[in-house]
Amino acid sequence: MGRPPCCDKVGVKKGPWTPEEDIILVSYIQEHGPGNWRSVPTNTGLMRCSKSCRLRWTNYLRPGIKRGNFTDHEEKMIIHLQALLGNRWAAIASYLPQRTDNDIKNYWNTHLKKKLKKLQTGSTAEDGFSGNSQQPISKGQWERRLQTDIHMAKQALCEALSLDKPSHDHHHVQDLKPSISNINGISTTTTTTTTRPHQASTYVSNTENIARLLENWMKISPKAQTISSDDHQSKVHHQNMLHNGSSSSTTDGAHSATTTTPDNNDHHQGFDSLFSSFNSSTLSDNASQLSADNNHQTSTTTNTTSLMMFQDESKPDLEAAAGSAAAAVDQVPLTLLEKWLFDDATAHQAHDQDLLF
């Protein structure tokens, strides 16, 4: 007897998610937390496969996701890590906590692969650089890398634990902000051009419904109340949302991987602005950190109360630790991670790439 399918094929909706579905999923997770995906479709009434729900959450709705163009730094990190770890996208993503493995995978396949290929053909390819798994890795080398990986994670954990609280908070700031962005993205694309116009059109058609749903959600959810206790605040939130949405209409933001002008960030940028207005607290030092990659020029602040919202939905500790370390990478010119990357025996391979970037 075969394994039962993860979901009934009949009556399971496929394809792009609608804003309503997003709202339902987010509100459910907000109340119950992520996990137990099997029960999500039944409990929410979503006509989606549990896998689809999980995927939607982890790749799109989950707090802490940064969307838009990859920075040079991220690009280099990916190249380095890919050279070290191969196509272990989840592992690579753990070092880029704001990016999903799917995002990284897509970026690799669509941008970096081509880029490296071009470079490879343009330069002498015998220097050992493969940039990919075609380079045979001996078992010993692999184990060594794995050990290094584990060691790094441990160090990152220690580092994260010894970080100042603001940094810790910052991690959550990053966790939360995009979540708000996402939520807002659902309700504000009336005036905001997304990188996925077809989705935008879907969203546009549902703007009012979603805004209403969101309002209800904010009222209903006990946790949400802690962050939206002030109705006025949410109204300001809303107004800014619309305002920023109208001013952040962009052209397709996914043209150049190395172009990091604010304008070609995706639709979330406007929501970043929104988020910053949502929070009236002072600008933390995190702002400078985030502004380093040009994607968060107007954002990066929040209050700790709001951070509670999705706190229990962060990545696992280890990843979070690594994430904190990776986040700190933006701040410090040469972090542990980078040092490790550069010191690694294979760094010479990537070095050739670096010279060309």
Stretch that binds DNA, among 71-79, 88-96, 222-230, 299-307 (CB under 7 A): 88-96
**Residue 260 in contact with residue 290, Cβ under 8 Å?**
no
Contact between 51 and DNA per CB under 7 A: yes
Task: Report the residue number, 66 or 296, with the smaller CB distance to DNA.
Answer: 66
Q: What does the angle CA 12 – CA 16 – CA 22 come to, to the nearest 5 degrees? A: 85
Show contacts with DNA in window 24-43 (CB under 7 A). Answer: 35-38
Determine the 3-state secondary structure of 49 from DSSP. coil
The amino acid that residue 152 corresponds to is M
As a whole number of angstroms, the distance between CA 245 and CA 191 comes to 5
In the complex with DNA, which residue's Cβ is closer, 11 or 333? 11
From 110, 147, 261, 305, residue interacting with DNA (rule: CB under 7 A): 110
The phi-psi region of residue 315 (left if phi > 0; otherwise alpha if psi is between -120 and 50; otherwise beta) is beta
Task: Give the nearest distance from C-beta 231 to DNA in angstroms.
Answer: 31
Of 88 and 144, which has the nearer Cβ to DNA?
88
Q: Give the binding-site size for DNA (rule: CB under 7 A).
A: 51
Query: What are the φ and ψ backbone dihedral angles of 284, each rounded to 5 degrees?
Result: -90, 175
Quick one: which H or E segment has residue 175?
helix 165-188
Among 58, 123, 148, 190, binds DNA (CB under 7 A): 58
Query: Alpha carbon of 81 to those of 131, 155, 174: distances in Å?
Result: 10, 17, 22
Minimal CA–CA distance to 88: which of 78, 73, 76?
78
Measured CA to CA, the distance from residue 337 to residue 342 in angstroms comes to 8
Residue 38 has φ and ψ, to the nearest 5°, of -55, -40
Q: Which stretch binds DNA (CB under 7 A): 109-117, 212-220, 286-294, 343-351?
A: 109-117
271 binds DNA (CB under 7 A): no
Told to check if 294 binds DNA by CB under 7 A, we report no
254 binds DNA (CB under 7 A): yes
Residue 139 engages DNA in binding (rule: CB under 7 A)? no
CB-wise, 89 or 278, nearer to DNA?
89
* Rounded Cα–Cα distance for residues 282 and 226 (Å): 19
Contact between 4 and DNA by CB under 7 A: the answer reads yes
Shortest spacing between CB 164 and DNA, in angstroms: 28
Question: Judged by CB, which is closer to DNA: 196, or 243?
Answer: 196
Does the protein bind DNA through residue 149 (CB under 7 A)?
Answer: no
Residue 199 or 291: the one with the smaller Cβ distance to DNA is 199
Evaluate whether 173 touches 301 at the Cβ level (below 8 Å). Answer: yes
Q: Do 175 and 314 contact (CB within 8 A), yes or no?
A: yes
Among 47, 72, 76, 87, binds DNA (CB under 7 A): 87
Q: How far is CA 183 from the centre of its chain?
A: 14
Contact yes or no for 336/155 (Cβ under 8 A): yes
The reply to whether 105 sits near DNA by the rule CB under 7 A is: yes
Q: Which of 103, 159, 293, 330 binds DNA (CB under 7 A)?
A: 103
With CB under 7 A as the contact rule, the residue among 120, 190, 191, 199 that binds DNA is 199
CA distances to 33, 75, 154, 233, 243 from 229, in Å:
21, 40, 39, 8, 22
**Contacting range for DNA; rule: CB under 7 A; set: 9-17, 118-126, 159-167, 182-190:** 9-17
Segment near DNA (CB under 7 A), from 104-112, 136-144, 158-166, 343-351? 104-112
Only one of the segments 143-151, 194-202, 208-216, 333-341 lies at the binding site for DNA (rule: CB under 7 A); that segment is 194-202
Q: Which pair of tokens denotes residue 32?
A: 């119950």
Binding site for DNA (CB under 7 A): 1, 3-4, 6, 13-17, 35-38, 48-52, 54-56, 58-60, 67, 87-91, 101-103, 105-107, 109-111, 114, 195-199, 201, 251-255
